[in-house]
Amino acid sequence: MAFDPAFLDELRARTPITSVIGRRTKLVRSGRNWKACCPFHGEKTPSFYVYDDHFHCFGCGVHGDVISFVMQSEGRSFPEAVEELATAAGLEMPRMDRHQRDMQREARTLGDVLEAVQQVWRLRLHRNEGREGLAYLRGRGLTDETIAGFGLGWSGDGRGGLVQELAAQDITPQLLAQAGLMRVDEHGQPKGELFFNRVTFPIHDRRGRLVSFGGRILGDGQPKYLNGPETAIFAKRRVLFGLDRARTAVRGPRGGGDASPRPELLVVEGYMDVIALHQAGFGGAVAPLGTALTAEQMEALWQVAPAPVLCFDGDAAGQRAAVKAAETALPLLNVERTLRFCVLPEGEDPDSLLRQRGTAAMAALIEGARPLSEVLFGLLSEGVRDPGPEQRAALRQRLEAAAALIPERALASEYRSTLLDRFFATFHRRPPAGRKGKGKGASPPPRASAGVLPVAPDLDAQAVAQERMRILTAILLRHPEVLEEVQDAYCRLDLPVELSALRAVMLDMLAEVDGDPDAPTLLATLQARIEEAELSDMRERVLSSHPLPLSAQERDDLMTVDVRQEWWHFYGLLNLERFAADVRLDTERMGAGAFDERQWENLRVRLLALESLRRGGNIPDTQ
């Protein structure tokens, strides 16, 4: 339901964000604000800051207000988070209109029907009529505790016993049909039970409400697995089996003495895989309901974890499922959510792997899960061997089309570069005769453009990027007065460990200084903080990557250089497309009169840096 903005504003005002976050992670004062180790990613140096009305992690980029914190930390939907906070704040939830009340009443009625059927089927499993089903489940290695915990049952022979047994509770065949438990004829009238001679699996939505059933037939009947049809409370494309349990395991509150790592959110193929994984301690396992992952299911996964692991069989069907999942995911990706993949040995599924090789083998597979950016090339180039020009062109077109599906331009550009780099490395053309060596006819080495670090043949792009990060950090170590202006961009960088430690000290200092100190005072304060943190040696190593000019003339020239422009220049070299896009956006905002004098000065400096990059040949003139 849609909420009145005034109600949401009052809810935020009545709910101190520090008290909500403080229940999940220890907060310590940092100037006027608070800081902590981020609850969303493992870290030793605090980079998670809490302000009056929002939070932001400079390590992983997660941010939001008190409502979004509950959503992200507990995997709740927006209405669920609002209801939880409103209850705690003593606010009455807005009343629903008549249509919403009717929908809720119908959902409650069908839910009651399903719960009544569940009680019958659970009892049948442990009676004489269910002995075959119980033997099957125990034969698959499930303990009685697991069987009871997942509410597994036995449907019976389907000869009308369910209707007779529930008649005393005023549950009619029509209600059973509406709940998806009976077949209907061409006139919509109930004509027989849908589930018979099947082990039954209760299907819950992410809040734990029973919405449907699945069933597995014993013997050679078809279909082997059967799910209930779509109903007023069940949409197969939105539900994942086990998500209610997985959400609690992955994002729910932990006991005070529980220091074990949270399980990964793991997507597998079937009911038994999920149940076997949970029993073995992999409490984040879920499964779609017999179909490929849908966009709605992926959105539900990302509400629980930013990078769920998709675990597919190593056969052709598993390969097709992986390709389909990647195609579905690409238009939904952003910098805060992605997928990882692990592939099982051919002929194995998680259930059989656990029984034959044990939990260590499964844990190793999950630990080795690879990010989508790494596996996408393999998925799209499957079967391509020593291609000719036509096959090369077709594959390259597929790779570029896949990257173009990503809506965020900067991320799409990174994927395109990654895929094409792999393409050229894997299917490189043989150079013409006479072009192999360093002699006559060899291509000259590329010249370094102004401001661009020369790249030696054995120096990879990652090393160049890390060197630029050291230069950016060195500039701020010498000129901490620039930090406030560039801190948002600086915090978006994925720095190496030693640079990240120095950045944390600088941010702490910036958050705690009072007034508007001059540059020498800031520099002295920063040096003292670095010494207290025992990072002086690290500071000297970083400064050596950006040495001071040696001659007196060079020192005089240094005074005429705007270090802010120099900083933005090297920042732009790390991600030209993102930098240019940010500058364009701020230029448009300035034209709308949204900038003050200080913001305009910041934009002016970035425009100069962008122009220097363009003059150096780093950006096309059309940028």
182: CATH: 3.90.980.10
Structure tokens at 198: 């099947």
494: left (phi over 0), alpha (psi -120 to 50) or beta: beta
Fill in the amino acid letter for 491.
C
Residue 453 has pLDDT above 60, yes or no: no
Residue 238 DSSP class: G
Check residue 122 and give its pLDDT: 94
- Of the residues 406, 429, 452, the one at which a domain ends: 429
CA distance 615 to 593: 29
Closest residue by Cα to residue 359 from 284, 261, 280, 268: 280
| Bridge partners of residue 204, in order along the sequence | 210
For residue 595, the SS3 value is coil
Residue 262 has pLDDT above 50, yes or no: yes
573: left (phi over 0), alpha (psi -120 to 50) or beta: alpha
Q: Find the mean pLDDT for residues 391-418.
A: 88
- Domain span at 221: 104-234
Asked if residue 606 is part of any domain, the answer here is no
Asked if residue 507 is part of any domain, the answer here is yes
Report the sign of the C-alpha dihedral through residues 328, 330, 335, 340, in that order. Answer: positive
Contact 410, 585 (CB under 8 A): no
Token pair 């999920």 in the structure block, residue = 274
- Residues whose CB falls within 8 Å of the CB of residue 290, separated by 6 or more in sequence, listed in order: 214, 225, 227
Reported as a pLDDT band with limits 50, 70 and 90, residue 157 is: confident
Reported as a pLDDT band with limits 50, 70 and 90, residue 285 is: very high
Residue 391 has pLDDT above 70, yes or no: yes
Backbone dihedral angles phi then psi of residue 497, each to the nearest 5 degrees:
-55, -45
> How far lies 354's CA from each of 18, 322, 586, in Å?
43, 22, 54
CA distance 12 to 17: 8
Check residue 286 and give its pLDDT: 97
The count of structural domains within the chain is 4
Residue 410 has pLDDT above 90, yes or no: no
State pTM to two decimals: 0.58
- Of the residues 234, 253, 278, the one at which a domain ends: 234
Q: What is the pLDDT of residues 229-249, one digit of tens each?
A: 999 889 999 999 999 999 888
Residue 445 has pLDDT above 50, yes or no: no
Contact 313, 348 (CB under 8 A): yes
Could you tell me if 268 and 412 lie in one domain? yes
Q: Which has the higher per-residue pLDDT, 440 or 328? A: 328
CA distance 204 to 210: 4
Could you tell me if 378 and 411 lie in one domain? yes
As a whole number of angstroms, the longest Cα–Cα distance in the chain is: 100
Asked if residue 253 is part of any domain, the answer here is no
Could you tell me if 108 and 46 lie in one domain? no
Backbone dihedral angles phi then psi of residue 536, each to the nearest 5 degrees:
-65, -45
Q: Find the mean pLDDT for residues 265-293.
A: 93
Closest residue by Cα to residue 538 from 462, 474, 468: 474
For residue 330, the SS3 value is helix
Could you tell me if 276 and 405 lie in one domain? yes
Asked if residue 390 is part of any domain, the answer here is yes
Could you tell me if 215 and 356 lie in one domain? no
Could you tell me if 358 and 280 lie in one domain? yes
Q: Where are the alpha helices (DSSP H) in 150-254?
A: 161-166, 173-178, 243-251
Q: What is the pLDDT of residues 49-78, one digit of tens each?
A: 898 888 888 777 778 889 989 988 887 778
Check residue 99 and give its pLDDT: 65
Residue 212 has pLDDT above 90, yes or no: yes
Q: Compute the half-sphere exposure of residue 91: CA atoms within 13 Å on the CB side of its CA.
A: 19
Residue 159 has pLDDT above 60, yes or no: yes
Over its C-alpha atoms, the chain yields an Rg (Å, rounded) of: 30
CA distance 127 to 141: 20
Q: What is the pLDDT of residues 97-150, one digit of tens each?
A: 666 666 555 655 888 999 999 999 999 999 999 999 999 999 999 999 999 999
CA distance 620 to 580: 11
Residue 621 has pLDDT above 80, yes or no: no
| Pairing label, strands 266-267, 285-286 | parallel
Contact 96, 181 (CB under 8 A): no
CA distance 185 to 180: 13
Could you tell me if 64 and 149 lie in one domain? no
Contact 457, 621 (CB under 8 A): no
Check residue 516 and give its pLDDT: 76
Residue 137: CB atoms within 10 A of its CB come to 22
Contact 125, 154 (CB under 8 A): yes
Q: What is the pLDDT of residues 1-46, one digit of tens each?
A: 567 777 888 898 889 899 899 888 889 888 778 899 888 877 778 8
Determine which of 94-98, 256-260, 280-284, 401-405 has the lowest per-residue pLDDT on average.
Answer: 256-260
Residue 307 DSSP class: S
Contact 242, 70 (CB under 8 A): no
Could you tell me if 372 and 497 lie in one domain? no
- Of the residues 549, 574, 599, the one at which a domain ends: 574
> How far lies 42's CA from each of 37, 246, 429, 560, in Å?
8, 20, 43, 43
Reported as a pLDDT band with limits 50, 70 and 90, residue 273 is: very high
Asked if residue 295 is part of any domain, the answer here is yes
CA distance 165 to 121: 11
Q: What is the pLDDT of residues 523-541, one digit of tens each?
A: 988 998 898 888 888 888 8
For residue 212, the SS3 value is strand
Closest residue by Cα to residue 124 from 93, 94, 101, 153: 153
For residue 65, the SS3 value is coil
Asked if residue 108 is part of any domain, the answer here is yes
Asked if residue 612 is part of any domain, the answer here is no
Contact 116, 171 (CB under 8 A): yes
408 burial class (0-12, 13-18, 19+ CB within 10 angstroms)?
middle
Contact 419, 326 (CB under 8 A): no
Residue 617 has pLDDT above 80, yes or no: no
Could you tell me if 378 and 272 lie in one domain? yes
Residue 261 has pLDDT above 80, yes or no: no
Asked if residue 604 is part of any domain, the answer here is no
Check residue 1 and give its pLDDT: 53
Could you tell me if 411 and 277 lie in one domain? yes
Mean pLDDT of the chain: 82
Residue 252 has pLDDT above 70, yes or no: no
Residue 620: CB atoms within 10 A of its CB come to 9
CA distance 306 to 336: 6
| Bridge partners of residue 216, in order along the sequence | 199, 225
Report the sign of the C-alpha dihedral through residues 342, 345, 349, 355, in that order. Answer: negative
Question: Which H/E stretch holds residue 312?
Answer: strand 309-312
Q: How far apart are the first and last CA of the chain?
A: 43
Could you tell me if 62 and 20 lie in one domain? yes
Could you tell me if 167 and 55 lie in one domain? no
Reported as a pLDDT band with limits 50, 70 and 90, residue 315 is: confident
Determine which of 172-181, 196-205, 480-489 has the lowest per-residue pLDDT on average.
Answer: 480-489
Fill in the amino acid letter for 242.
G
Secondary structure (DSSP) of 410-443: HHHHHHHHHHHHHHHHHSPPPPPTT-SSSSTTPP
